[in-house]
């Protein structure tokens, strides 16, 4: 379903806003409720417009920090809507928020309030006051979410962009035209479009790589089959199973070796596949004279390969009864063994081998969630454990941009773990940029190793 900020406001304030504000304003509860329902998408739409890019979102973060908007208002709702000093303070805060969102454009804000007044049936004066009451509540919900999830400008911009569907459903007809938000879809797409394009490109690269690998593997298999048929029907039946086993191992290598750069990994996988096909062709040339020996060797090799694939994944029992699965020697396996009392200390580095990002961005791929869910399960089983997540890049491009990208990637991992139930204060996120390579940046293999996210256990 996704996050719905407007519903979060309604859940946070319950009926207090409508019941108390309607009495304070001298309006019916029904009309007040209708007005609130129209004001929430208006205010959120203003936020979406303001935070449609990282720079605008950073402006929102700065405003919330300077105005101490962190959700604390939601913990002390009593008396806010009934008049007196607390209500006056709420109205003052709301006025500042509306000025920030609408840029002191009294004409635009007046048009919005006029539309809401006509739609809900409340008076124009009541509409203005109620809007000032609602604005701090919505901003409080956003502020609390930002604080709890440790969102940066990119994270906030993505959050606001995800509200498009909810805002469109709740907004009264004509509201967006009054606000200059007729192209709300374009605004939301500007937040996520570039990242999605990268993801789509990555998916296309993976698809193309898979197709190429399949074609090459098929060509190799056909060559082997043809050679085997010339010497022995038995060998021709066995070799396809050997090819399938080799292909399975090749796929496992590919999934572990992507390292967050789909385009780079694609070239390497294709090269490996072509080499497999070449070797298959070479082997086919010798088949005629060595059918008997090769058949026996093929049976043994196929059995070993299949066993290797089966043995690669094992179940790990965690304290408290949780069970996870991971490949032997993988990040998950090493982390679980370390926390269970294995060798290592605070300087032990655990490098993710199943957490990847869309090329050039901090957007986690869907496949990354499996390893992050395993890490979250491990941390829940060891409640005293705290970690430091470090993002790293190679030395390609601008050093400052690399530093920012590495920081954003570390924060993406932190946010994902937080959303999976790991407390915010248990995960520290740092960006190291290109400053701490583990291999030479002179080769593609080295650069691939340097593009990584490391985890260090800072407290057990």
The per-residue pLDDT of the chain, averaged, comes to 78
CB 354 within 8 A of CB 371: yes
Whole-angstrom Cα distance, residue 32 to residue 72?
A: 24
How do residues 382-440 score in pLDDT, each as one tens digit?
A: 999 999 999 999 999 999 999 999 999 999 999 999 999 999 999 999 999 999 999 99
Strands 313-317 and 323-327: antiparallel
353 confidence band (pLDDT: 50, 70, 90): very high
Q: If you average pLDDT over each of 180-189, 213-222, 310-319, which comes out highest? A: 310-319
How do residues 200-223 score in pLDDT, each as one tens digit?
A: 444 444 454 444 444 444 454 454
How do residues 255-280 score in pLDDT, each as one tens digit?
A: 444 444 444 444 444 444 445 445 54
Token pair of 290 as six digits: 């060595």
Give the mean pLDDT of 338-361: 88
| Residue 89 exposure: Cα atoms within 13 Å on the Cβ side | 9
Token pair of 278 as six digits: 């070449």
Whole-angstrom Cα distance, residue 213 to residue 250?
A: 10
SS3 content of the chain, % helix, strand, coil (to 5): 70, 10, 25
Residue 243's pLDDT is what?
Answer: 56
List residues bridging with 427 in a β-sheet.
Answer: 387
CB 339 within 8 A of CB 378: yes
Measured in degrees and rounded to the nearest 5, phi and psi for residue 429 equal -120, 130
In this predicted structure, the answer to whether residue 449 has a pLDDT above a threshold of 90 is: yes
Q: What is the CATH number of domain 318-459?
A: 3.30.1330.60
Q: Can you give the pTM of this predicted structure?
A: 0.44
Whole-angstrom Cα distance, residue 30 to residue 434?
A: 59
32 confidence band (pLDDT: 50, 70, 90): very high
SS3 271: helix
Residue 298's pLDDT is what?
Answer: 45
Whole-angstrom Cα distance, residue 250 to residue 308?
A: 12
In the block, which residue shows the tokens 């009264």? 172
Closest CA to 253 of 298, 305, 203: 305
Which residue ranges does the chain devote to CATH 3.30.1330.60? 318-459
Task: Name the residue with higher pLDDT: 189 or 378.
Answer: 378
Residue 426's pLDDT is what?
Answer: 96
Contacts of 317 (CB under 8 A, 6+ apart): 323
How do residues 38-72 score in pLDDT, each as one tens digit?
A: 999 999 998 998 888 888 899 999 999 999 999 88
């Amino acid at each position: 379903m996704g996050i719905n900020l407007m519903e979060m406001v309604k859940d946070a304030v319950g009926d207090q806003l409508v019941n108390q504000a309607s009495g304070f304003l001298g309006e019916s509860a029904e009309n007040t409720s209708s007005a609130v329902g129209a004001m929430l998408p208006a205010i959120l739409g203003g936020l979406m417009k303001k935070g449609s890019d990282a720079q605008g979102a950073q402006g929102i973060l700065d405003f919330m920090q300077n105005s101490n908007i962190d959700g604390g208002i939601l913990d002390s709702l009593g008396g806010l809507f009934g008049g007196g000093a607390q209500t006056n303070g709420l109205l003052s805060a709301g006025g500042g928020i509306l000025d920030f969102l609408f840029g002191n454009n009294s004409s635009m804000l007046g048009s919005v309030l006029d539309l809401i007044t006509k739609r809900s049936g409340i008076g124009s004066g009541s509409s203005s006051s109620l809007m000032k009451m609602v604005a701090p509540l919505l901003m409080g919900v956003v502020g609390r979410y930002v604080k709890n999830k440790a969102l940066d400008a990119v994270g906030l911009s993505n959050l606001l962009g995800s509200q498009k569907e909810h805002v469109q459903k709740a907004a009264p007809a004509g509201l967006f035209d009054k606000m200059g938000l007729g192209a709300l879809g374009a605004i939301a797409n500007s937040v996520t479009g570039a990242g999605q394009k990268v993801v789509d490109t990555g998916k296309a690269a993976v698809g193309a790589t898979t197709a190429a690998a399949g074609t090459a593997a098929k060509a190799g298999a056909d060559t082997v089959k043809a050679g085997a048929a010339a010497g022995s029907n038995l060998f021709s039946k066995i070799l396809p199973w050997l090819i399938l086993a080799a292909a399975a191992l090749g796929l496992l290598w590919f999934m572990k070796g992507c390292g967050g750069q789909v385009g780079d990994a694609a070239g390497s996988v294709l090269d490996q596949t072509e080499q497999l096909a070449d070797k298959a062709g070479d082997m086919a040339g010798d088949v005629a004279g060595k059918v008997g020996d090769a058949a026996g060797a093929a049976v043994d090799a196929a059995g070993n390969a299949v066993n290797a694939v089966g043995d690669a994944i094992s179940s790990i029992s965690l304290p408290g009864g949780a069970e996870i699965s991971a490949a032997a020697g993988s990040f998950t396996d090493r982390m679980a063994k370390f926390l269970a009392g294995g060798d290592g200390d605070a300087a032990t580095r655990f490098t993710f081998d199943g957490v990847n990002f869309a090329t050039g961005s901090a957007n986690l791929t869907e496949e990354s969630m499996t390893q992050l869910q395993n890490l979250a399960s491990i941390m829940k089983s060891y409640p005293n454990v705290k970690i430091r997540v470090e993002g790293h890049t190679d030395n390609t491009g601008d050093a400052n941009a690399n530093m920012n990208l590495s920081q954003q990637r570390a924060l993406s991992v932190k946010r994902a773990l937080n959303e999976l139930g790991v407390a915010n204060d248990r995960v520290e996120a740092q960006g190291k940029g290109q400053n701490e390579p583990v291999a030479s940046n002179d080769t593609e293999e080295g650069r691939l190793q340097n593009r990584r996210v490391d985890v260090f256990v800072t407290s057990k």
